[in-house]
Structure 1
């Protein structure tokens, strides 16, 4: 029978013919992309951009809480990428990631890349209190011990976490996607605001790309369970439209405090954007009542406690991850993705 699509043909269960991937041999080997239970939707989107099918796998959680994973395709000699974020439930998702890495290595995959859209424990990057764990370092050791050959992630809370790993880490930034969104809006009299100096370097880059000045918030947090208190705004926001930028938000408290401080100082409209919108319980209602006109976030988080408020808009980061995966697979430079 002629093959009109010039592709490998397989017969489905209903005996119909399906055109699958091209029968041309990839000189870099076969690419396999899997998604864990935390990142199924994002995994499908990434595969659509790559032009490949999401590989088959299985995850089960038993009644006592044990997590079981099974690879349902042959990965021997393949270049494997497993997409698994570590949002809520953080520990379950992190353990699942380790089990996936181990399963692929035991199935003789040539290279296993852990694609972690949101690395939750990145917040635990230092020993800033007596007798506490550097949690990000412990997680890095676990990922290496499980057998990962490299890590691909997005907007770590602290970029120096890359140094916790002895394996290569490709660190992507959502900034190009978010900048492109706000460029198209053409907001007049725009200033970029960082809630604190910790995100200042990235805020400067964001402002440079969008051709706007920068203002900073003077923020203090007195305890883990207390919301941030905005003491002052460094810079002029009077009669300006403000775009608050940050890497992630859990309760929305910092963004709301910054937005209120800007409005009190004469700002017109306040926008915000974050790479990772975690949003714990109750945050949606607080954001809906806040002065933030629009909050833009990416699709790195797959689980929500509650529906997003109307002010939130999600933009996809799948194309950026797809480009990075293909660059790694073809042994090309990933740094070209940073040339904004």
Structure 2
């Protein structure tokens, strides 16, 4: 079978990087939004009997981007594609992973079921808000990790006396994975959140940070509030330079301004979300994970195991660092 890579409206730049890595051309397609908001998608070349990969994050405009994915999958299936794989570097609705209060939707499960009902045969994504979200899908899910690529860039900064800081207890396990990779210690933020706002209060830092360089790690940030609150608390506790590493950066314009005014020296993240607000910030360093996704697509196409990429990323992927 022949593979064909297409991009949704928010995935064009990322998809082009994947195609450049694989030495193939991006599929011709179009997306049009009518004046009342109705979305129209069309592949401008045949996909009959081809293995199609649709690249689209659910990121800054989650409702539109999610709906577009459903339309794309349906279009490819109706055009007799052999298989359709949704390459979703960031899955925003993964935040809705549980029913922790009455009368709420488990949004991640609803979205997963809709993607499958539209006809998707497989999903490739990265750093879900919690790993068990893979269980919302009945189809295969390849869950990739940004940690090795982010850590390799952190190594180039040559930071001595480094401590990895989790912003709360919920991210402690992943913070320990960062610390293991970087061969350093861990500290944990004690965070309180009273409502569904994007702001939380850091009341303390558990662990030794005095006189050390700190790396705050998390899966994503929107307002930047928690990151900056942690950074200020670290400064109060005697930390030296403060850095941050995120799998996905969704900072708003106000969030970027907060970052610029914060004690954080540098925020390191990936290009999983096409975020125009960060483009002119000297405090943001983006490291591409498109080669990681391209390598995954290549392995799927060759019917090879993807699992080695979870622990040992090929050296050629680090050429972009």
CA distance in 2, matches of 1:290, 1:90: 28
SS in 2 for 1:59: strand
Deviation at 1:304, TM superposition (A): 2.9
Are residues 1:181 and 2:153 paired?
Answer: yes
RMSD: 1.1
Correspondence for 1:217:
189
Are residues 1:87 and 2:20 paired?
Answer: no
Match of 1:266 among 238, 259, 265: 238
**1:176-199 deviations in Å (ceiling 9; x for gaps):** 110110112221000111101211
Match of 1:75 among 24, 38, 47: 47
Are residues 1:112 and 2:84 paired?
Answer: yes
CA distance in 1, matches of 2:155, 2:257: 28
Correspondence for 1:26:
none
Question: Equivalences for 1:161-240 in 2 at 5 Å?
Answer: 161-225=133-197, 227-240=199-212
| Unaligned stretches of 5+ residues in structure 2 | 313-321
**1:29-87 deviations in Å (ceiling 9; x for gaps):** 21100010011111101111111111111100011111000011111111110001111
Contact conserved, 1:278 with 1:304, CA < 8 A, in 2? no
Match of 2:264 among 266, 273, 292: 292
- Looking at secondary structure, tell me which structure has more helix per residue: 2
CA distance in 2, matches of 1:241, 1:89: 35
**1:306-329 deviations in Å (ceiling 9; x for gaps):** 645321111101110001111111
Correspondence for 2:317:
none
CA distance in 2, matches of 1:283, 1:260: 15
SS in 2 for 1:282: helix
CA distance in 2, matches of 1:262, 1:279: 21
CA distance in 2, matches of 1:122, 1:339: 23
Are residues 1:325 and 2:297 paired?
Answer: yes
Correspondence for 1:12:
none
SS in 1 for 2:143: strand
Q: Which moved more, 1:101-110 or 1:226-235?
A: 226-235
**1:181-238 deviations in Å (ceiling 9; x for gaps):** 0112221000111101211111111111111111110111111125110011110000
Are residues 1:255 and 2:227 paired?
Answer: yes
Structure 1 residues 226 and 315, CA gap change in structure 2 (3 angstroms) = closer
Contact conserved, 1:279 with 1:304, CA < 8 A, in 2? no
CA distance in 1, matches of 2:118, 2:303: 23
CA distance in 2, matches of 1:306, 1:337: 28
TM-score (norm 1): 0.90
**1:225-256 deviations in Å (ceiling 9; x for gaps):** 25110011110000000001111000111110
| Unaligned stretches of 5+ residues in structure 1 | 1-28
Deviation at 1:143, TM superposition (A): 0.3
Contact conserved, 2:18 with 2:293, CA < 8 A, in 1? yes
Correspondence for 1:46:
18
SS in 1 for 2:41: strand
Correspondence for 1:159:
131
Deviation at 1:303, TM superposition (A): 3.5
Deviation at 1:281, TM superposition (A): 3.5
CA distance in 1, matches of 2:153, 2:278: 25
SS in 2 for 1:261: helix
Are residues 1:33 and 2:5 paired?
Answer: yes
SS in 1 for 2:233: helix
CA distance in 2, matches of 1:155, 1:177: 13
TM-score (norm 2): 0.95
CA distance in 2, matches of 1:283, 1:50: 35
Match of 2:276 among 293, 301, 304: 304
